[in-house]
Structures are given as structure tokens and as C-alpha cells.
Structure 1
Amino acid sequence: MEFELEITDLQVKILFYWTRSRCVLIILDPSCHDDESSALLQFMQSFMYASASFYNGNCCSWDGVDCDEETGHVIGLDLSSSGLYGSINSNSSLFRLVHLQRLNLANNDFNYSQIPSSIRNFPRLTYLNLSASSFSGRVPSEVSHLSKLLSLDLSLNLDRFSGEKLLKLHPSNMRSLVQNLTSLEKLDLMPNSMANLSFLIFLALENCELFGEFPARTFKLQNLRHLNVEHNQGLTGYMPELNRSSLLMSLRLGYTRIFVNLRSIAKLDLLQELDAPACNFSEGLVPVSLGNLRQVTYLDISANQFGGPIPDSLANLTQLTHLLLQENQFTGPIPPWLGNLTRLTHLNFDRNKLNSSIPKSLSNLMNLQRLHLYENRLSGTVEFHMFLKLHNLKELLLGYNNLYLLIESRTMNVTIPQFRSLGLGSCNLRGFPDFLRYQENLQWLGLHGNKIRGQVPKWIWNASTETLKYIDMSSNMLFGELPIPSPNVEYYQISNNLLTGQVSPLICSLRQLQFLDLSNNRLSGTLPQCLGNFSNGLQVLNLGNNSFHGILPQTYTMASRSNLRMIDVSHNQLQGQLPRSLANCVMLEFMVLSRNKFNDVFPLWLGTLPRLKILAMDHNEFYDVIGKPQKNHHFLELHFLDLSYNNFTGEFPLEYIFSGNGMRISLNQPKYMKAVIFVYIYYGSITSIIDPYSSTITNKGVERYFPKIREDFTAIHLSSNKFEGRIPEFIGNLKGLRSLNMSNNILTGSIPLSLGSLTQLESLDLSHNHLSGEIPQQLGQLTFLGKFNVSHNNLTGPIPQGRQLTTFDSTSYEGNPGLCGGPLQNKYGVAKTPQQPPSSVEQNDSGSAGAFEFDWKFVLAGLGSGLVVGVVLADVAITRRKELFVKIVGMIRLMITKGESWE
């Protein structure tokens, strides 16, 4: 609703304007152009505008609005972080502000709208910032028409749930941008070429999915001071030789494949920031010359496989605030001179091979906020008192070393740092540290892998009640009933202990819980039904290796809300049918039901889950024929299927279940299921991602523990059922298959030739079936085979010669009377044919029935060669004898031709 009131002597117009939820009073001065004021009003009306709701004066006095002093036209609009929510399109009144020179809509939510093509209506723009505003789709070519742009920022337009990038830039549009926007000084998007950007000062291309060769000339742009191309795994190329005249002050190259010369970087006298984790460095050791960067304050060369000791020349970097060397191969002791770098706030040596003890000089670093020494080879006794002097210390990670941490039972007259993250895993603790009582801001607590024995004290939950999100007490000697943590906990791991009793329904009060691991305890009873229906969306549920009985939780949230990604209830005594509501768990990737008493048909309905990668149902009581799935029930991402040791019958519909499956693609590079479970620990602006869950998978006949689930590990295990019929040739389409076990069934027919195309195959077990025919020659070319078993079938003929099949011992082939050659004793003869029962009747040459019993021996004594071949044919029909005789003569001729000594 809108009405106007004119006050003549004041020469103003007052508008009362109702938006969706509030009244806006606008007082318009004659100097404010009506069309621009109206355009702004309409633009604001289309959103839930969360900032000022009352305006006075003309539009040029409104927050975020700048006008030309002479013309009164709106030339600047800054609505960043204004809470705008809703869609925007080319018809928006915003694009009537044709005099705009600066536009900032950053940090709003335009609800996945495309950047409107009407952006071309702003030909005077010199500054455009659309970052972090949920724009999606392709960047329109009209952006390249803004030829006066000096700064363009389209970064951080990410999906609010998955974090995936929303904006895409077509290569042709990128070429137009580079050709037309030659005045750019700051660029934050995703270009391929910077050839014409000679005025460029700031270039940010972070996390843009760039691929191909990065132009080397970019490093030498004469005005360039800040270059950021990190998190572009497909970006290649070479950094040219740099010199001291370069103006580069900040260089971020991490997580690219650009070939980098650290010695060249060491020449940059003005460099203050080098952020280069997981780069393609040419050196194996950190060059001494890196100590020449006297101005550097931020140094990150983590995850680069650097070895040797930490060079002493780094002691020259007295301006350092951040020294990040984690995930390398550094050896030797932690250098004591680190205690002289008194400006250090962040020191990270995680995941190296550093040895010796922790130098006491680190207690001199009074500004230190984060000290990470996790997973090295540190040893010796460390007094925790040295860290209590560091009053600014917020994060201390010491776990996975061989330290003996001495913590006084009572800390008197000492100001204890208020930790945010505390990792004391594998520190030989024998009790809960008493100083934890006084922690009020703790978010992350790791006490795993110690020797803590007894019950969890109740006071542990009274510390940091409101802040504690992550707690890991796994692999200790805790006993008693399962302790229920404070209600805000998101990650709770207490596996590998001695806990007993039932899981209390109070677990349902943890409304923020995302990760729950109670595996490898002695818990019993039935499972609380709420475990399937956490309102926030539980992501990981691991209850394996306990003594739970009864049925699984029956209710799982609707598909739009369920975040469950992993469920492991293996090694329990659960029974009954699988809850059909599991089909609502559209994020589910990992489902392990092994070694229980489930009694149900095969859950074809799980084929609708778009991300399911691992399905293990072995050692249960599943039964019946597996039918052909419906069109929308194909397991598109299934990489591991284990149905062994059940009661399935009929033919296995392999080509229907795996049609269109990801297993058909050969994966050359090791990948891990990063999407399966992330545990977020917030370190200010930094997010730490804990490794994905682990699992035990049977491969090559051995149960193997996988700390990470490799996405390229693909397997089908169907053994010990009653599957029948032929192995379909379709199996050869699953190019990424690593392990295939169809043993102990009643399969018939020949071994498919298409198995020879499974070049990634590491384990093949077809034993204990009714397979017939010869072993395909193509299997001899499977160079990765580590296990091969076709024993106890009806196979015939020679074992194929080749690098692989002849390397296995006779147990891989035994129980096939018709096989010969290879590791079998009857290397060049023909094995005895299975004898018919005494009552058997066979046809003679004349067609009459009759039994023949005589011992016919054919012996050839080779003159000079010493060869003797003996073949015994007994109880064989005359027609069969003639056939075998022809084969024997042929083999003898071959033997004589080769001149080999056979027995």
C-alpha cells in the first residue's frame, strides 16, 4: 500500500510505503531523481530487507547509496551483508540505475539465481562484487561488456549444503573477459589467460576448477602483488625464474600441479606470504635459501614430501607468525631455535617423522595460539606444565607419538589456558586430566589411545557444557555403562573399550549429534528407536561388534531431511527385516549389515539411493531369488557388494543391478570417499576435516582393515549361496572391478572370456561350482591377480601359460580332473577321467550296450632322450578311447619336437 503527502512550503514529497513486514517512510528531496528512488524502492521491496526500515532525506542519504554531487544520479550502491533473500532477474528495477559506477551485492542470498544479462545496463561500472551471494549457472557474456571494470569479484558462490561451486564460466566468455576488461586491477573468478591484464595488481582464482596450463607470463606481470590460484587440481604449467625486481607480496599456489621452484621464490625480497601446500615442488629438501625471505610472515609448505631435517636457515625468519610444515617427511628433532621466533602464533608439524622430545624452548612462544605436533615419532617425558605458561594457547595437539605426558593431579596457583582444541591421544595417560574441570570453551577433546581405566567421571560433562562438540575416548579401558555426553556434542566416539549394558534412551537427547561410534564394546540389549530419526540428521552410526539384538530402528527421516551417510551394525545379533524407510536416506553411502541374523529378501529398493557405494550383507539369513530391479532401482554408485554366506537362490541379476554403474569406469588414481563423512572442527576461519571412517573388508581371503575407504576399491562377493546359471559376459563391462568371488555356488557353463578385460582385477575366486570348459587364455594377461582359485569345478584342458596363472600353486586348480599343465603334477599328460559307477552302461561302437573292463597301457620309451610317457585308459568306451588316443599322439609329437624331458 502506498500514499503520498505533499507539503508545498517545504517542497518535499512524503511516501508511506508498506513492504511485506514493515512500514517504510521515505522523504524525497527534489534533488533525488524520482525514477532512481522508485527503482531502489521496488528493488528493496522484492526482498526481505533486514537493515534500516526508516529513511529520511533523499535517496542519496540512504545507507549504502552514493550519488554524484552535481547530477544527483545514483553512482554507488553497497548492499553487502544486507540480508537480501530472494530471486533476481533481468527485469529487476535495479537495472534502471544506469549511472552506477560501483555495485556491491556480496554476502546476500539470491537463491541460486543466474547473474542477469541486464548487467550490461551498467557500462560505467568500475567495481562489481557479487561474491558469496548464491548466484548460480553460467556467468553471462554481458559481463565482458563492462569495459571500465577495475575490480570484479564473483568468488564464493557456493551451494549452501554441499559447498559445491555454483557459477560456471564458459571458455568463450572467458576469452571475451580477458580481451575486453583490459583495465582490471583485481580479478577474483576463473580465467584461462591473463595476457592483456598489464595493470593487474590482485588476481584471485582460488577453487575455480581450472585445468590446463597456467600462463607463465602471469607470474611476471609488472604490477602484480597478490596472486592466488590455489585449490585448482587440474592446473599445470611451470613457474618461470623470478627475480628481485618482482613486486609480489603474496603468493598462493597450493593444491595445484604447477611446477614450482622454491629457490626462485626465495629471491622475492618483498614476499610476505607464501601459501603453497600440496604443490609440485622440484626439490626434495627445503633449500637453505628460503631463509632469505626476511619479510615473510606466513609460510605454508605443507603436504609436499619434503624430507631431511628442518633447515636451520629458517631461524632467520623472525617476522613469522605462521609456520606450517605438516604432512611432509621431515626427520630429526624439533629445532630449539623455534623458541626465538617470538611472533609465532601458529606452528604446525603434524604428520612428519620428527623424533626426539619436545624442546622446552617452545615455552618462550608467548604469542602462540596453535601448536600441532600430531602423528610424529616424538618420545620422552613431557611436563604439561610447560604449556600452561602459554596463556594465548588455544589448540594443542600432541597425539599419536610416543610421549609420556606428565600432568599434575592438581594444578595450583597457575593460570590455565582456556583451550579450544586439545588432542592428548596416545600420550600414555592413565586417568582423566584434572585440569579439564576448569575448561569453559573446549570444542574438541581427544583422549583416544591412552591407558585410561575405569568409568568416565560425571564432571567431564560439566566442563565446556555449551561449547563441546567433539569428544574421542576410543581405545582405552573404560568400563561401566555408556556415558551420555553433554547435549551439544556433534561427534562422539567411545569405541574399543569395555562398556557394558544397554544404550540409554537418553542418547536421544543429543539433538546435534552427527557422528556416533560405539563399536567394539560389550554393549547389549535392543537399540533405541530414535537412532534412526535424529532431527538434525545423524551422518555416521557405527554400532559394530557388540551384542545388540532385536531389530534395527524402523523410522528414518524423509529424504529431504536425512543426512545419514554411514551405518555399520555388523557383528551383532540383530534380526528381522530391514526397515523400508532406509530408502529415505538419500545421502547413504556405506551400509554394513554383516554377521547378524537378518532374515529378509534382497533389498532391491536400496537401488534408488543415488550415492550408495558399499553394501555388505554377508553372514546373515537373507534368502530367495533376487528379481530384476525396476528401471529406477539400479545401484548407480555401488562399488562394493558382499552377499556371501546367505541363502540366496536362482540366477544373480548382475547385468541389471550394475547397469550404468560407476564400477564400469576404470579408476586409475587412488581416491577416497571424502564425501562419506566429514567432521568439522572450527578453528576460527579454518575448518579441519577428519579422515573418513574406517572399515574391515575381506579381500584375497583375508580380512583387511581400511583406515580410509578407497573409492577405487571395487568388489563383488557372492560366495556360499545357491546361485545358479551361467556367469554373464556382462561382467567384463565392470572395468574397475578389483575383487570377484562367486565360489561355493552351483554355477554352470564356461568361464566368460570377458573376464580377461578386467585389467584391474586383483582377486578371482570361482571355486566349488559346476563350471566346465577350458580356462580362457585371456586370464593369463591379468597382471594384477594376487589370488586365483578355480578349484573343484569340471574344467578341462591345459592351464593357460602366462605371467600370472602359472604362479599359483596346485590348490588353485585341484578338483578339476580334466585340467593339466601349470602347477599340476600331470604337466603334459591328460588327467584321469572321472570313473563311472560300476552300474554305468555305455554304448560300444556298434551301438549295443556293454561294459568294457580292461587295462590298456600305452608306453613309449624314448631312445636316447630317456622319456617315458604312460597313460592308463580303463573302463573307457571305444569311441572315447580313440579320441583320447589321437590327443595322446599329438602331445607326444609335440613333446618330441620340443625335446623336453617330461615324466
Structure 2
Amino acid sequence: MESSFLCIMFMRVLFLVSLFQLIVLTHSSPSIQSLCHVDESSALLQFKNSFSIKGSESSDRLACPKIASWTLDGQNSDCCSWDGVICDEDTGHVIELDLSSCNLYGSINSNSSLFHLVHLQRLNLAFNNFNYSQIPSQVGNLSRLTYLNLSSSMLSGEIPFTLMNLTKLTFLGLSSNNFQGPIPSSIVHLYNLEVLDVYNNNLNGTVELCMFLNMKSLGMLDLSHNELSLLIDETCTNATLPKFYGLDFAACNLIEFPNFLKNQDGLQWLSLAYNNITGHIPEWMWHISKESLRVMDLSFNFLTGFDGQVPIPLPWTNLAILDLSSNQLEGSLPIPPSSTLRYNIPNNKLSGRISQWICNMTSIQMLDLSNNSLSGSLPQCLNKFGDSLLVLNLQKNKLEGSIPQTWAKGTQLRMINFSENKFQNRLPTSLANLMMLEAIDLGVNQFNDSFPYWFGNLPNLMVLCIRSNKFNGPIVIPNAEYKFPNLRVLDLSNNSFSGKLPLEIFQNWKYRDFENESPLTYIHVKTNFTIPKGSWNYHLSYDYNYSMEITNKGMNMVYQRVQELFRGIDMSSNRFEGEIPESIGDLKVLHLFNVSNNFLSSNIPFSLENLAGLESLDLSLNRLLGEIPQQLTQLNFLQYFNVSYNNLTGHIPSGQQFNTFQNNSFEGNSGLCGSPLTNNCDTLLPPASISENSEDSDSPFEFDWKIVVIGYGFGTVVGVIIGHVVTARNPDWLRKTFGMKQLGRRHRN
């Protein structure tokens, strides 16, 4: 019996071990049971195949690596392992699909296999191109969605009413598309919605704020930049509206500050920009959401000032972005708290000195106070901005005195604009410590200094403008260390520089490869801010484009954006003399060259023909000699050409772009002839041109100038001898003949 008992126990243990191994194998080997459902993997592949990949120069696989991994072949056949796909661990159903920024191109139609994925809870198709197709009503089949993001995806038409079937949504992103019509009133049935974002569409009509009364979960409401008119009824704004953390009502036709904001104590984001709000900023604004507010944007309104005493600093202790630009604000400059990263208040009427308090903004990245009436000298504490400051724009104010000598190494400044003020004296050489600097504009001031050659040691400097100051003397680069390695635009115009043209500043262009530069890349500073919005993080990206004013094509032109590939040299209205060096031909990527109103006295160099991309060439008001090279007609992009008021001679070239230039391009050169001038070249042809061609002439009237000269000399000798004989024999005849004529001339004079 003992042996039977042992045998039974052994069989039980063996069974349990086998069962354990079976369970382990079942759960550890995906080849035995796949998590992905066959119908869902098929639906995903059909959805993938309904689009093409429209990348710039990329293959399908490189343009969207997410869907490139979708295949039923090999080890990657389980759709739950595909990029952008997340499955429920228990059921294997696809519950999340993220194909954002995937370069998908095509239309979403009503029979799309996407709508077979009925277990989806999160769907993100933002930043694709759906070719202005409409959202099919079948989107209502995805009733389990809590997150739907279709922003920036080239969708159009009306917002389908079936979206209101998605009652579990807590996020709906429809921004930056081409949606039209009014916002459906049935949206109020989305009781769980936390974020509604319809920014930048063509939605129209009137939206009553009271329609959102029952959406108690709604925290972020963005209706901005449509054609909507927001109607705010005071009867529903006291305690009945949701407690918002984000409101963007930009361009919603508001004419006053919404009073319901008084009761919003948890705002993180508030934008009332691009409206018609007039008058003063009410004093109660200083008391809302003091600890939570991160973004305040009141730009592009008609605000004129502030009610009550403006706190110094402003009371929002966690403020990151403050934009009050393009209003009519008067008074002194408001000072934001130290937490501020971006402060914009240009295009107002602010006056007075810049307070020392501004230097407490130790986190500031972008500071734009331009186009106001701020006066006095700059605070000496600018160095306290530390490593954070990237952009400093003080253009078009009434600031004066010297630029502080406080620029330290390690500073991250990339753009400085001090132009159109009253700054004086010499430039601080400590500016040479700004190794990250890309553009600096010091134009239209009263600086009195020699050329700041030490800028040549800044490796990233692309734009240097010191026009309309009192800079003087020859431009001398003391040694090869100062190479201006990345300079693209140099404006020295309207100063008192002398000596030779300093084209050696640009010799590095000969060794640079410009072929791969994109025409769509601009000189700019890009910063990213992450702003928490309740349970979501909102990522902001700001592009600050460098703008400049330069004389181009005979006019003062303002470039709101400057392409990185643009190359321009303006040395006009100085005292440069001598020649235009042949080395100008080495600057083959040059677009603008202006050396007008100087004392240049050479011929126009033939090497200018190498500047194949030249668009504007101004050599006027100099002392240039000789002819206009015929080779310049090969400059196919030349739109502006001016050589007026020089000492040029000969025939004006014809053909190509030269046939488009008017009289004023050539006037003031008495020796020039030909179209478009009225001077006939036949009547101005100098004798030298005949003698040069006489040896090769086949004309029957050909003669030898040597014979003429010999004959002239012989006749002179004979005449002298005969005259002597006549005078000796009859002196009275000579006196009567020539003396009477001379007397007559004196009388007439």
C-alpha cells in the first residue's frame, strides 16, 4: 500500500509541475497567444495604407518611423508592439493611437477603418495633412474616447454634431484647422470636458459664455482667433461658471474687461489680446489669481493706462509671460515680478526713466520695450540679468548717455537692438564678451568712435548695423584674429569712415559652403515654455524674429524677418576713396551692394559679373571713371542699378535686366550715351576710338594719321617763313589787318 500511495503522490506532483510549466509558457511566450486582436491589426494596416507620406525629402520610413514599423511580418507582427499603439494589458484591445506629426497626407472618409477601433480611449492625429477633408459623423462611434486631438491637421467643414456622443471626453483639440459654422450648442452635453480648444479656425457667430454653465469640469477654454463674438451675460457670471485655469478670448470682439474674472482665483492663463478693449486696466485686475497666474496677454487693444497705483513689482508672483504690446499705455514702465521670462510692452506711449527694479527680473529671456518714449540713461545693473537674457530690444525710445560697461562673459544674449535713441560716446568693448550674439543694431544714435573691429571675434554674429552715427576714420583690422566668420549683413552707412573700402571683412565668404542654406530659415531666437494647465501641460514655443531697416533698391526698407541666406553690404554716405577692389567678385553670394555717396574714383570692376545673385547695386554719387562693363548684363537677378552722378563714359550696355533701368540710373554722366538716355553715341564718339580701330578697318576712306601729323608740321614751318618775309617787307599791312580786328574784339567785350 505504501508503494501505491507513493505512486499516486508522484503522479500528482508530476501533474502540478506540468501544469505550472504550461502556465509559464502560456504567459511568457507571445508566439503562443498574441495580445493584439486580428481585426484591430487589420484595421490599423488599412488606415496606414489609406495615406501617403508627404515629407520634404524623406522616404516613408524616415518621414514617419511610427507607421513604418507596422507590419505583420517577422517578430513585429503584434500590433500592440507597434509605435504609437497602446493596448489594454488585460483585453488586448487597442486603447491609444498617437500618430501626431507623422506627415500623413490624404483624406479621412466615412468608411475609414479608424472607426472600427471602438475601444479607443485616446486618439491623437495632430500635425498631419488631411487635405481639407471633413470629420465624418462616424467619429461618434468612438464613444469611449477621453482624449481627441485633431489640431493642425488641415481639416475643414463644420464640427460634426456626433462629437457630442463622446460624453467621456476630457480633452478636445480642434485648433488651427479650417472649421466653419458656429460652435454646436449641444457641446454642453460634454459634462466631463476639461479642455476645449478651437483656436485659429473660421468659426463664426455669437457664443454666449453662459452656455458653459453646466460644464463644471471645464478648466481650459480657448475660443481665440476665429470670427466669433463672445457675449458675456452678467447674470450668470458670479458663482455659477466653472473655475477656469485657462481662458483665451483673443480676437473675440470684446470691448471691455469681463467682470466675471473678479471671481476667478485660480487662473494660470489669461489672454484678451486682439480685441477692442479701451480705457484703463481696472485696479481689480491686480488682485486676481495672484499666486497662480503664469500668462497674461492684453496686447493689441486700445488700453490707455492703469487705474489706481500700479504695484512695483506687479503682484503675480509666478508670472512667466506678460504681453502689453501695441496699446496706447501712458505713464511709467510697469515692472513684472522676478519670475518673468518674457516681457513685451512695445508700441505704447510709456515715458520716464527705466527703473532699477527691472534688474530684479533675473529669469528674463526676452525683454522688448521698443517704440515708446522712455528716457534717461540705462540702468547700470543690466549685468544682473545673468545668463538667461536672449533678446534685448530698446529701439525707438529717447534713451541717452553711454552704454553700460557691464557685459560679462557667459552671457547668452543673441539679439540687441539699441537703434533710434540718443546714445552717445564710445561703444563699450565689453560687448565683445557676448559670444552668442547673432545680431546687433546700434544705428541712428550719436556714437562717436572708430570702427568696432573687436566684433570680428564673435563666432555667431550675422548682422552688424551701426548706420547714422558719428563713427569715423579708416577701418583697420589689427590682426587676423578678427575674422567676422559668420557675418552676413553689414550696414556702415551715414558715418564718416574714410580710407579704402574694407572688403577684407568678408573674405571668409570665399571658403564657406552656402549651397545647403534654406531660403525659409530666418534669423530668430526660439524659446520654449512649459505652462501647467490643470492636469495638462501646455507647451509654448515663441519665435522672436530679428527685424532690420536697410537701404535697398533705392528705398529705406524694413524687413520684419531676415532670411539667413541674405547677404548685404551698405557703406554708402561715408568718405571712402580709391578703387572698388577686384576682390568684390569673390563675394559671389552677395545680394545687396551699396557704396553710393563716397569718393571712389576707379573704374567699375569687371569682377562684379561674378555676383550671380546680386539684386541691388548702387554706385551713384562717386567719381567713377571709364565704361560700364558689358558683362554686367549677365546679372539676371539685378533689379536695381544706379551709377548716376559719376564720370562714366561710353555706351550704356543693353540686354537682359539693363533694358528695364530708367534714365535716373545713369543721369549725371555727361560722357554716357545710348538708351535710355537721349544722348546719341554717334555725336559723342571720341577721336581716340577711331584711331584705335583704324588698323583693322576695311573702309575705302582709310588714311594714315602719321601723314596728317607730318603734313601739319611741314605746313607750320612754311607758314612761319612766309609770315616772316611779309612782315619784314610790309609791316603796316600786318598792323592794319590784325590790329583792327583785335581792337574790335576789345570793344565788344
Q: Same fold (TM over 0.5)?
A: yes
Which of 316, 322, 329 is residue 471 of structure 1 equivalent to? 322
Could you tell me how far 1:631 is from its partner in structure 2?
Answer: 3.7
**Which residue of 872, 877, 899 corresponds with 2:683?**
872
Match of 1:223 in 2: 78
Identify the structure with bigger relative contact order (alpha carbons < 8 Å, sequence gap 6+). 2
User: 1:647 and 2:499 equivalent?
Assistant: no
2:469 matched to 1:620? yes
Where do residues 279-318 of structure 1 align in structure 2 (5 Å cutoff)? Answer: 279=128, 281=129, 283-288=131-136, 291=139, 294=142, 295-312=144-161, 314-318=163-167
**Pair member with larger Rg:** 2
**Match for residue 712 of structure 2?**
none
Does residue 443 of structure 2 align to residue 587 of structure 1?
no
How far apart in 2 are the matches of 1:516 and 1:809?
45
Shift of 1:282: 5.0
2:482 counterpart of 1:671: no
Task: Give the equivalent residue in structure 2 for 1:357.
Answer: 206
Give the counterpart letter for 1:286 in structure 2: Q
Cα 1:712/1:424, change in 2 over 3 Å: farther
Determine the C-alpha separation between the residues in 2 that align with 1:345 and 1:418: 15
1:589 touches 1:612 (CA, 8 Å); kept in 2? yes
CA displacement at 1:705 relative to structure 2: 4.7
Name the structure 1 match of 2:216.
366
- Can you list the C-alpha shifts for 1:111-146, whole angstroms capped at 9, x where unaligned? xxxxxxxxxxxxxxxxxxxxxxxxxxxxxxxxxxxx
Aligned runs of 1:791-806 on 2, under 5 Å?
A: 791-793=644-646, 794=648, 796-802=650-656, 804-806=657-659
Letter aligned with residue 750 of structure 1? I
1:175-206 alpha-carbon deviations (Å, 9 max, x no partner): xxxxxxxxx99xxxxxxxxxxxx9xxxxxxxx
> What whole-Å deviation, never above 9, does each CA across 1:748-793 have from its counterpart, x for those lacking one?
332444555433x44333322344432444545524x443333333
* Distance in 1 between residues matched to 2:467 and 2:565, nearest whole Å: 21
Q: Given the alignment, which residue of 324, 336, 348 partners 1:497?
A: 348
Number of the residue aligned with 1:749: 603
Match of 1:567, SS state, is strand
Summarize the alignment of residues 733-812 of structure 1 with structure 2, pairs less than 5 Å apart: 734=587, 736-747=589-600, 748-759=602-613, 761-771=614-624, 772-777=626-631, 779-783=633-637, 785-793=638-646, 794=648, 796-802=650-656, 804-812=657-665
User: Matches of 1:509 and 1:375 in 2, distance apart?
Assistant: 34
The CA deviation at 1:604 is: 1.9
Could you tell me how far apart the structure 2 residues matched to 1:435 and 1:398 are?
16
Cα displacement (A) at 1:734: 4.7
> In structure 2, what is the equivalent of residue 657 of structure 1?
506
Give the deviation of 1:608 after TM superposition: 1.9
Question: Structure 2: which 5+ residue stretches go unaligned?
Answer: 1-27, 36-44, 46-55, 86-91, 700-749
The whole-number CA distance in structure 2 between the counterparts of 1:547 and 1:659 is 37
Partner of 2:191: 342
Q: Which has the higher helix share?
A: 2
- The verdict on how the C-alpha distance between 1:530 and 1:328 changes in structure 2, with shifts beyond 3 A counting, is same
* C-alpha separation in 1, matches of 2:630 and 2:186: 66
Contact 1:607 1:635 in 2 (8 A): yes
Query: Secondary structure, in 3 states, of the residue corresponding to 2:683?
Result: strand
- Structure 1 residue runs of 5 or longer lacking an equivalent are 1-147, 151-183, 186-197, 199-208, 231-245, 831-870, 891-903
2:305 is the alignment partner of 1:454: yes
Distance (Å, rounded) in 2 between the aligned partners of 1:569 and 1:889:
68
1:798 alignment partner AA: I
1:687 is the counterpart of 2:498: no
Distance 1:447 1:369, change over 3 A: same
**How many residues align structurally?**
622
**Alpha-carbon distance between aligned partners in 2 of 1:693 and 1:403, rounded to the nearest angstrom:** 29
Q: 1:445 aligns with which of 296, 299, 311?
A: 296
Q: Secondary structure at the match of 2:242?
A: coil
Task: Answer whether contact 1:226 1:250 (CA < 8 A) is retained.
Answer: no
Corresponding residue for residue 395 of structure 2 = 544
Within a 5 Å distance, the mapping from 1:146-165 to structure 2 comes to none
> 1:394, CA displacement in angstroms?
1.1
C-alpha deviation, 1:477, in angstroms:
2.4
Maintained 8 Å contact 2:609/2:634 = no
Q: Is the 8 A contact 1:738 1:762 kept in 2?
A: yes
Hey, what's the Cα distance between the residues in 1 that align with 2:158 and 2:306? 43
Change (3 A) 1:877 1:432: closer
The question of whether the paired residues in 1 share the 8 Å contact of 2:522 and 2:545 is answered with no
- Would you say the 8 A contact 2:350–2:372 is kept in 1? yes
2: distance between equivalents of 1:381 and 1:309? Answer: 21
**Partner Cα separation in structure 2 for residue 729 and residue 296 of structure 1:** 70
Instruction: Quickly say closer, same or farther: Cα 1:817–1:251, change in 2 above 3 A.
Output: farther
User: What amino acid does structure 2 have at the position aligned with 1:349?
Assistant: V
Preserved contact between residue 463 and residue 488 of structure 2 (Cα < 8 Å):
yes
CA distance in 1, matches of 2:516, 2:482: 23
2:136 counterpart letter in structure 1: V
Q: Partner amino acid for 1:697?
A: E
Alpha-carbon distance in structure 2 between the residues aligned to 1:736 and 1:353: 42
What is the CA–CA distance in structure 1 between the aligned matches of 2:168 and 2:675, rounded to whole Å?
69
RMSD in angstroms over aligned alpha carbons?
Answer: 4.0
What displacement does 1:595 show?
0.3
Measure, in 1, the Cα distance between the counterparts of 2:116 and 2:397. 59
Instruction: Give the alignment of 1:357-436 within 5 angstroms.
Output: 357-360=206-209, 361-379=211-229, 381-382=231-232, 389-408=240-259, 411=262, 415-429=263-277, 430-433=279-282, 434-436=284-286
Task: Name the SS for the 1:431 alignment partner.
Answer: strand
What's 1:860 paired with? none
* TM-score normalised per structure 2: 0.73
The one-letter code sitting in structure 2 at the alignment partner of 1:723 is F
SS at match of 2:543: coil
Give the superposition deviation at 1:569. 1.0
C-alpha separation in 1, matches of 2:451 and 2:545: 26
Tell me the residue number matched to 1:510.
Answer: 361
Q: Residues of 2 paired with 1:290 and 1:731: CA distance?
A: 65
Q: Quote how far apart the aligned CAs of 1:393 are.
A: 1.8
* Range that drifts further, 481-490 or 568-577: 481-490
Q: Deviations along 1:283-330, whole A, 9 cap, x unmatched?
A: 123342672561444333333444454455544544433332333344
1:709-741 deviations in Å (ceiling 9; x for gaps) = 443443222221223344445545555544332
With over 3 angstroms needed to count, the CA separation of the structure-2 counterparts of 1:463 and 1:338, relative to structure 1, is farther
Report if aligned partners of 2:415, 2:546 keep a CA contact under 8 Å in 1.
Answer: no
Cα deviations by residue, 1:520-545 (Å, 9 ceiling, x for unpaired): 11111111111244235422221111
Question: Aligned-pair distance for 1:678?
Answer: 5.5
Change over 3 Å in CA distance of 1:878–1:754 after alignment to 2: closer
| Residue in structure 2 matched with residue 241 of structure 1 by the alignment | none
| Alpha carbons 1:474, 1:497 under 8 Å: kept | yes
**Percent of aligned pairs with the same amino acid:** 33
Whether the aligned pair in 1 keeps the contact of 2:584 and 2:607 (CA below 8 Å) is: no
Matching of residue 522 in structure 1 with residue 333 in structure 2 = no
1:823-874 deviation line (CA, Å, top 9, x unaligned): 4445xx41xxxxxxxxxxxxxxxxxxxxxxxxxxxxxxxxxxxxxxxx535x
**Contact 2:204–2:227 (Cα < 8 Å) also in 1:** yes
Q: CA deviation at 1:688?
A: 0.4
Amino acid at match of 1:483: P
Q: Contact 1:729–1:752 at 8 Å: present in 2 too?
A: yes
Q: Mean alpha-carbon deviation: is it higher for 500-509 or for 669-678?
A: 669-678
Inter-CA distance 273–779: structure 2 relative to 1 (3 Å threshold): farther
**Greater alpha carbon shift after TM alignment, 641-650 vs 425-434:** 425-434
Offset from partner CA, 1:213-268 (integer Å, 9 cap, x none):
317652344422475589xxxxxxxxxxxxxxx97554444445454554457445
CA–CA separation in structure 1 for the residues paired with 2:661 and 2:538: 52
Could you tell me which residue of structure 2 aligns to residue 66 of structure 1?
Answer: none
